[in-house]
Every structure is written in C-alpha cells, then in structure tokens.
Amino acid sequence: MSRRSPLRRKLSRFRKKAAVEIFSLVIVLVVSMALVGTTYMWGMPLIIKRQDKVKIDRVYNYFNEDNANSLVYKIQEVANSGGKETFTADISGLWILHNYTENSVDNNSIEFVTSSKVSSAVISDRSSIKWSSLTAGSSCPPEEGVVGVDSPLVVCARSEIFEDGFNIIYRAWSRTLKDPTVEKGYRINLIQQKDTPTTSVGRSVSISKERSYTCTPPNLQCPEKMLIITEIKILLV
C-alpha cells in the first residue's frame, strides 16, 4: 500500500482549508446581498416618502401669503402696487389658470398640480371633489371676505389617488372683499395674457397689472353693489 508523501498531505489539507474559506466567503456574500436587498426594499420607499414630504412643504410655500417669494404674495403685491413680478417654481408640475370669465365654480383661480407618494391634504375621489381651506376662516370655493380683515386670495388644497401615489393640488382662489361701511367691494380678477395657454408644465408664472376700474350695478360682475376691480394678467411660461 502506497503512502502519500508529507508534501501531498500538506497540499490536500491546504486545498480543503481553501475550499472551506471560499465556501464561507460565498455564504457571507450571499447574506450581505440579501441584507442589502432587504434594506433597499424597505428603505427606499421611506426615503422617497421623506423626499416627497419635503417637496409638498415647498409647494405649500408657493401659496403661503406670509412668504414674500410666494405666488400669492406676488399677486397681491402687483395688485396693490402695479408693475410686474415673476414667480418661479423649483418643482415639476402642471399650472392651470381658471380665468375669472370661466363658466365654472373654479373660475378666478390658479392652481399647481404635482405627484407625490404622500399626501398632506384631504383626499378626493372622482365622485366627490373635496377641498381643504388653508386660509383661516375661509371656505373652498370662497365666500366674500371683509376689507382690512381677510385676504383677497383663499388658498385651498386637495389630493387625488393616482396609481401608487397621489396628485397634490394647491389653488389660490380670488374672492370679493366687501367694505362694511359702504355698499362697495374689491376684487382681483385673474386673466390670461392674450393668445397664451391656460395650462403649462413650465416653472414660471409672469404676473402683471392690466388695469383697475369701477364696476357699477346692474352688471354681471357687480349685480348688487359697486366693485373696484383690479385685473391681473397671468402668463404661464
């Protein structure tokens, strides 16, 4: 019976040890990949939701009248002082302008629509559109306000279920402000710039003052009381 040489025995032991180490390494790699996959599967949705929460907060600031860089603030500033302002969004979405002449309950408003995995607004379905008013003491659609007390623009928000997330809609709605001391009121009318679209996926909204005039009853715009109307021209870029 032949015996293996010491060199062959050492070589055999080395090969067995190497095989065990390679097998152990493969197990470690498989477990690591499984852990990475699990972390990705559970972690990524949370990261995306956090990112979308930040995005929705930024959209809210577009319509926050206390923010000097917001769309709402700029519209009121132009209505009061004239001139021209441009609001630029840093998030992709759809702008929709509803002219004051539009024959619908949505008239005299401008809105922004974007997608998100999270929602911070009331959720609507196709059979029932529900808005949440972000302007204290106001409703959506807005009722008349009081001069010196209420804002001329009411901010409303809602969300719609879309695929595996939501469409988030923010809207600035213009309303009449009545003067309690006299039969007179004030209103901002939002109008599109001539021959320009009322929808856009661009990021800029140009705001300029067209004119101010007095509407005297009887008139479709002011059937019961005199209104001081300021027309604000909107260009969606």
From the list 61, 95, 97, the residue with the least C-alpha distance to 201 is 95
Residue 230 covered by a domain? yes
Q: Per-residue pLDDT tens for 152-189? A: 999 999 988 888 888 999 999 999 999 988 889 999 99
221, pLDDT greater than 60? yes
Q: Give the range of the structural domain holding residue 136, as residue numbers without chain letter.
A: 58-236
pTM as predicted:
0.78
Report pLDDT for 40: 44
Residue 101 domain-assigned (yes or no): yes
Number of domains making up the chain: 1
Position 29 in a domain:
no
Q: Is position 212 within any domain?
A: yes
Q: Are strands 199-200 and 165-174 parallel, antiparallel or unpaired?
A: unpaired
Strands (E), the chain: 84-88, 94-98, 109-116, 123-124, 132-133, 145-146, 153-162, 165-174, 177-179, 184-192, 199-200, 204-215, 226-236
Query: pLDDT, tens digit, for every residue of 23-63?
Result: 565 565 655 565 445 444 444 466 667 777 888 889 999 99
Gap between the Cα atoms of 190 and 232, Å rounded = 5
Average pLDDT, the chain: 84
The phi and psi torsions of 72 (rounded to 5 degrees) equal -60, -45
What tokens does 170 get? 């923010």
CB 55, CB 61: distance < 8 Å: no
The answer as to whether 50 is a domain residue is no
232 within a domain of the structure (yes/no): yes
- Judge whether 229 lies within some domain: yes
For residue 26, being part of any structural domain is answered with no
Write the Ramachandran bin of 9: left for phi over 0, alpha for psi from -120 to 50, otherwise beta.
alpha
Cβ–Cβ under 8 Å, residues 189 and 231: yes
